[in-house]
Every structure is written in C-alpha cells, then in structure tokens.
Amino acid sequence: MKNNLNQFKQMFLAQLKLTMREKQAWFWGIFFPVILMVIFMVIFSGSSNEDFSAEIALVNEGSNQTSEILLAQINQNALLDIKSGEAVNREQAEKWVKDQEVDAAIILPRSVEKTSLLLIVNKENEQGVTTQAISGMLDKLVQQVNLSVTNTVPMYQLEFKTISSGSSELNYTDFLLTGMIALAIAQGGLFGMVDLVEMRRKGLIKRLRMTPAKMSIFGISDMTMRLLFSIIQIVLLSLIGVFVFGANLYINFLSLGIVFLFGALSFNALGYLISSFSKTSEAYMGVANIGSFIMMFLSGVFIPIETMPSWIQPLSNVLPLTYFVDGLRDTMIYEASIFSRSLWFGILIVLLWGSVSYLLGSWLYKRKSIVANR
C-alpha cells in the first residue's frame, strides 16, 4: 500500500511538472477559454429583453378615426421608437427600410374603410428577432383596437411568470459562463491525451511496462492531475464571470461535484479513445479539433439549442457536451438537486459516451499491443 502511494506521488508530481512546462497546455486549457469567454461577454453581456427597442418609420397619409386610434396605441408603446419623431411619406419610409436605417415601416390606414395595418421590413431581416418582435407587438395592438372598437371586454387573458431556484436576474452572462466552463473542461479532456501518442511513438509506454511501476497507478495519477487542472478552470472562469461581468451563480456543490467528476472523466475517456488510433500527435489534434468544433457550436455553449434549425437539433441532442453543459447550468445557476431526474438522465448520457470510449480505446490499445508482439 505504501509502495503504491509512493508511486502515485512520484508519477503525479512528474506529470504535473510536464504540464507546467507545456505552454500549449496552459494556453488551450486556461487562457483560450478565458479569451473566448471575455470576447463573447463583451459583445453580448448586458443585452436583455428589457433593453429591447426598435426604430420604425411611420406613414400616416390620411388622418382619420382609425389611423388616430392606431397611432395612439403605437405612441404608448415604449419599445417602438419613431424615427424623426413624426410621420413621413411612404417613399421616404421605404427608402429608410431599404437602407436599413430603420427596423421597419408601419403604414396606417388611409381611410376609415381601410382596415389593414401594413408592416414593411427589409427582406434580409425578414426572419430576424427584431422583425418577429415588431410583428408580435403590432398583432397584439390590432387585437386591442378591435376589442375597443366593438366595445368587447375580454373574458380571458394569459399571465406569464417564471420561477427558478436561482435568481430572476439570469441573463446571457450566466448562460455563457456555464457554457464556457463546460467547453473548457471538455477540451481539456479531448486535447489532454496527446502525450500518450508521443509516449507510445517513442516507446516510453513499453519501457514503463518493463519497470516495477504499475500502469493502473500511472493512469490514476494522470487522471488526478487533469481533474485538478479542470478545477482550476472552473474557479478561474467563475471568478472572472462573477466579479468582472456580474454573472449570478447559485451553486449546489454536491450536484456540481457529481456532474463535474463524471463529465471530466468521460471527456478524458474520449481523448483516450482518440489517442488509441492516432499514430502521430498531428493526427490526434486533427481529430480532437473536429470533435471540439462540432460540439462547440452544436451543444448550446453560445446559443440555446431551441433556437437552432429544427433539422440540426437531433444531432445536438446526442452530443455529450450538450448534457454536460445542461448539467453545469442546472447545478451552478438553478441549484438543481441531486435527486433531479433530468440531471441524472444527462449524467447517464455523458457516462455512456465515456464508458464506450474507454472500453473501445482499451480494446484498440490491447489489439495494437498483441499485433506488435507477434
């Protein structure tokens, strides 16, 4: 037992020194996620639904009772800002829309007999969020005017409320912070096993097997060092997110610990699988980069999966990073309980990826070892 402990200590310190000397490991594991997170937070932090506003051009070519009612409703909407503060002619309004100087143009009815409110938008922005928001507001406005004209009192209405275990002030900063932490840990596992390729290529693993050192202890020490590295990532990114960008974290530490442990081990297993069939470090980095790139943009790190095209969402729903990101968000923002079913469902998906990757990687390593001895 004492001998095993000494072996573990020596191997851990040796791998820690190698990692400390490896500048690329520090860059990709620590500084790259920090730089990426800072860039996205500088661009998107502070944006929220409360800050939404749209600039419109207003055309009122024939003042009448209908247009006056609609104009009054539009003026009461604080989210719609009328360019130049007054109505303009249709030619000027359409020019502003074409030149994208305004988000849309609203054409009021020219007479009492006309019952349609015309919305003109730029073709390039037809599916944009702002266009959809303006369309929704005008649709609601028209419904209110219809009710007032017919003297109808609405009997039913929809009330909307959100609740969570965390804060009601959750914003994109919170969303991005947890996504970047998950991405950093995943990349640490995917790229962290490149040393195994070099060790195998140089014959160091074969020599290590010929010594009294146990390969199992070597693996445990390597895994422990990488878990320590991942803890540094979580702490550093969280501190920057909270104290620099004002992120809100409400952490359930027990749930977070379980999600972190299983997630980090599973992505290490993915890196182990890549190392098992990569003959050179260049080949390893190529495969790892492809996997990282796909998961980076399809796993809900930067944008919610629900906003992605419907045809691509099934792919997102099978990627391990998708469930790791969700698990970290649940435990770091919403204080998800350890008894949460959805939390454990995500953990099981991540573990499935990790288990299959480890078993397949071990089989490939063993197969290569048998072939080499023949």
More confident residue, 39 or 344: 344
Strands 80-82 vs 118-120: parallel, antiparallel or unpaired: unpaired
Q: What tens digit of pLDDT does each residue of 229-288 get?
A: 888 888 888 998 888 888 888 899 999 999 999 999 999 889 889 988 888 888 998 999
Average pLDDT over residues 184-193: 86
The whole-number pLDDT of residue 23 equals 62
Residue 52, φ and ψ in degrees, nearest 5: -70, 135
Whether the Cβ atoms of residue 45 and residue 241 lie closer than 8 Å to each other: no
pLDDT in tens, 54-88: 888 888 877 777 778 778 878 888 778 888 788 88
Longest dimension (CA), the chain: 95
R_g over Cα of the chain = 29
Please give the model's pTM, rounded to 2 decimal places: 0.67
Q: Give the per-residue pLDDT at 34.
A: 78
| pLDDT higher than threshold 50 for residue 161 | no
Separation of alpha carbons 306 and 309, rounded Å: 8
Distance CA 205, CA 181 (A): 32
Alpha-carbon gap, residue 24 to 30, rounded angstroms: 10
| Sequence-ordered list of residues with C-beta below 8 angstroms from that of 127, at least 6 positions apart, any chain | none
Res 333 pLDDT > 80: yes
> To which residue do tokens 């055309």 refer?
59
Fold entry, domain 54-149 = abc type-2 transporter like fold (3.40.1710)
Tokens of residue 78, six digits: 């604080």
CA–CA gap between residue 93 and residue 106 (Å, rounded):
8
Tens-place pLDDT, residues 343-359: 999 999 999 999 999 89
- More confident: 56 or 164: 56
Q: Where are the domains of the chain?
A: 12-46+171-373, 54-149
pLDDT band at 167 (very low <50, low <70, confident <90, very high): very low
84's torsion region: left (phi>0), alpha (psi -120 to 50) or beta? left
